Amino acid sequence: MEQLQSQYMIGLLALSCAVAILGVLGCILAVAISDKRLATKSAQRTESEQHFQSLFDNNSDAVFSLDASGNVIGANPAVALLTGRPSAAFLNRTLAEAAQLDKGQAQSLLGRTLKGYPQRFEVVFERSEGRKAELSFHLVPISASKRVIGAYCLARDMTESKQAERRMHHLAYYDELTELPNRRSFMDALETGLTAPKDEAGILALFCLNLDRFKSFSHLVGHSVGDKLLLSFAGSFREAVQGLGGGDTLVSRLGGDEFACLIRLRDEGEAQAAAKRLIRLDRPFVIDEREFHLSASLGYALYPLHGEEAESLLKKAQTALDHAKKRGGNHEQVYDAAMEAAIHRKLEIENGLRKAIERGELTVHYQPQVELNSGDLIGAEALVRWAHPEEGLIPPGVFIPIAEETGLIKPIGEWVLREACRQAKAWQDAGFPRITVSVNLSNRQFEEQHLPETVGAVLTEYGLEPGCLELEITESMAMDVMRTIPALTNLKGLGIQISIDDFGTGYSSLSYLKRFPIDKIKIDKSFVSDLADPDENDTAIVSAIVAVAHHLKLKVIAEGVETADQLEYLRKQKCDQLQGYYFSPPVPAVDFERLMHRFFSRSATV
């Protein structure tokens, strides 16, 4: 029994020891696990701190670390690159000192950040070497244990992007050549001007101005010189406008050679005086040591007299400008409500003209051209006419300018060319002696690259000999010499005749004229009509044209001959050919046949 009891006690003691040992081992294990967890957390915290420090040190943005008082307690290496000063130089500085801010503004920004609200601001920062940089700052709160203990201030250089932004804005609102406000900028200013209080004294005048014949001038002298001239004119125009309205003005280049300005003036009389002053180009423009004399046309509208909406007022000023240009240039014109009727009429003509081409309402009339010495019929000028179904014959002076403006002149011109060649061949087939039919080329036709091929194809189609066709170009069309010479040479290669129409009204240089492959010069009818009551200038011009033409071995034809006195004067000047109402007005083909019968029957009896 005692042995059993002894064995029991020994077992109990062994169990107790085992339990104790297990408890100790458990404690040791728990401590080991706890130490491992702590070590893991410490390692993770160390790694996180290293990650953050790496992010702080290697951030491309400059980063300042601020305490709750707004003092700099850390600055990354990018700070030195951004500011030009060592990063350590900013330690213990305030936010105001670091960011070059006003002290009150810095305290306000920091205060809102410490309340948990990030802040953004921009500063023009002066770097150590004195260069200005446009910096963008971002303040963000630093939180620990659910409370804000400081802030990070991130800074980035925005100088290049700001400059690009300003450049884009400048391009959007200013003309690149002249640096004047462009159309968009002008319209914004006009809108603002029109919304000003109506009880403000005076009126707002909107002037639109064009340089006369600038497109032809630019073709002649080259676009580089043309741009220099526009730049020079822009400066003069701006000075003239500022001289009229002081600081309360705006000058703009709307595009091409069209300029506009806004001037606040007292009344309509002052606006009229201003318009006359603005088109007075008193001095020549000197470009590359060459003098150029130009004139300008101007139209204007007044607020509130002519309208209260920006687009409408600009449109009315441009309408007035169109009317000024139609008067021959170097004129000013105020808007008038009657001009609207002219605009509607113009639209009616344009729409009707498009239909006229489709419906076959166009016809060709012919005016005889006569050899002065013999009196023989030698040719006919083909002139387009429009037989409107309701209005009858519409004068060419009404629809031709609209056709040129809209581009309809191109299909019309091609149709006239075909019809004239067809009719000339038909007369030959009917037994009439051969005459030359003269066709006017529009500027758009003359600019066509394939014009010689087109003319050649028409001649072939109707079987008309090239020598029986004469093409007329105006003197102004020939101003672009570098384009004119090869174009005329290609046409002349077909075997046709070429003449310069309206000679004496343009700006041809004799040195260029002798290089043109032409056959004839046509004296403009304005010079011929003046012969009814001639003075020394009139007779001198006609004599000079004839003499120049004959010296260049060219024929001379005078158009607009209406009286026997004119004919006799031209005979004395040894003019070669005549054309005008003295012989016949332009007539339909059937009536022209009667003229041919009369001329040729008379020739047969001589």
CA torsion 588-590-594-597 (nearest 10°) is 120
Question: pLDDT value at position 40?
Answer: 53
**What are 487-526's pLDDT values in tens digits?**
899 999 999 999 998 776 655 556 667 788 999 999 888 8
Q: Which residue has the higher pLDDT, 4 or 111?
A: 111
Give, in degrees to the nearest 5, the angle at Cα 204 between 198 and 209: 160
Confidence of residue 424 (pLDDT cuts 50, 70, 90): very high
Residue 225, SS3 per DSSP = helix
Question: Quick one: three-class SS letters along 315-350?
Answer: HHHHHHHHHHHHCCCCCEEECCCHHHHHHHHHHHHH
156, 136 Cβ separation under 8 angstroms: yes
**What are 19-39's pLDDT values in tens digits?**
556 665 655 665 555 555 645
Q: Class assignment of domain 368-381+407-605?
A: alpha beta
Confidence of residue 602 (pLDDT cuts 50, 70, 90): confident
Nearest residue to 149 via CA among 113, 107, 96: 113
CATH architecture of the domain 175-336 equals: 2-Layer Sandwich (3.30)
Q: Which residues contact 487 (CB under 8 A, 6 or more apart)?
A: 446, 451
Nearest residue to 241 via CA among 253, 228, 250: 250
Nearest residue to 542 via CA among 564, 520, 519, 566: 566
521, 549 Cβ separation under 8 angstroms: yes
Type and span of the H or E element at 381: strand 377-388
Every domain of the chain and the residues it spans: 1-49, 59-162, 175-336, 368-381+407-605
State the Cα–Cα distance between residues 70 and 119, nearest whole angstrom: 14
Does the pLDDT at position 532 exceed 90?
Answer: no
Question: pLDDT value at position 504?
Answer: 66
531, 542 Cβ separation under 8 angstroms: yes
Confidence of residue 244 (pLDDT cuts 50, 70, 90): confident
**What are 330-351's pLDDT values in tens digits?**
899 999 988 888 788 888 999 9
Would you give the DSSP letter of residue 71?
A: B
Q: Which residues contact 297 (CB under 8 A, 6 or more apart)?
A: 209, 210, 212, 279, 321, 324, 325, 327, 329, 330, 331, 332, 333
**What are 344-385's pLDDT values in tens digits?**
888 899 999 998 988 889 999 999 999 999 999 999 999 999
Could you give phi then psi for residue 508, rounded to 5 degrees?
A: -65, 140
pTM above 0.75, yes or no: no
State the Cα–Cα distance between residues 128 and 85, nearest whole angstrom: 6
Amino acid at 204: L
Count of C-beta atoms within a 10 Å radius of residue 134: 16
Residue 44, SS3 per DSSP = helix
271, 303 Cβ separation under 8 angstroms: no
**What are 272-298's pLDDT values in tens digits?**
999 999 988 767 888 887 888 888 999
119, 136 Cβ separation under 8 angstroms: no
State the Cα–Cα distance between residues 273 and 386, nearest whole angstrom: 42
What CATH number labels 59-162? 3.30.450.20
Stretch 596-600: mean pLDDT, rounded? 91
Q: How many residues make up the chain in this entry? A: 606
